[in-house]
Amino acid sequence: MRIIDNIFTFIFVIIVCHAVVEGEIEEQHKKPVSQVKLFQSLFQQRRAEHKAACETIMNMGNFIKQQKMVDILARKAFEVLGQNQVTLREAGYIPGMDFPEDEKVRDALSQTLENTAFMGELLLHLPDIMHSLLRDHKPWQLVFTWGAFFATQSKFLDKNTNKFIHLVSQELGIVEKDVRYTNPYSQSARHEVHGASTPANQSPTSKAKKKKFRKGPQLSRQFGDL
Question: Is the sign of the CA dihedral 155, 161, 163, 168 positive or negative?
Answer: negative
Model pTM?
Answer: 0.77
The predicted pLDDT at position 6 comes to 56
The predicted pLDDT at position 152 comes to 96
CA-wise closest residue to 56 among 144, 114, 130, 126: 126
Using CA atoms of 93, 99, 101, 105 in order, give the dihedral in degrees to the nearest 10: 40
Q: For the chain, which residues score pLDDT lower than 70?
A: 1-33, 189-226
The predicted pLDDT at position 58 comes to 95
Count the Cβ atoms, other than its own, within 10 Å of residue 117. 23
The predicted pLDDT at position 13 comes to 55
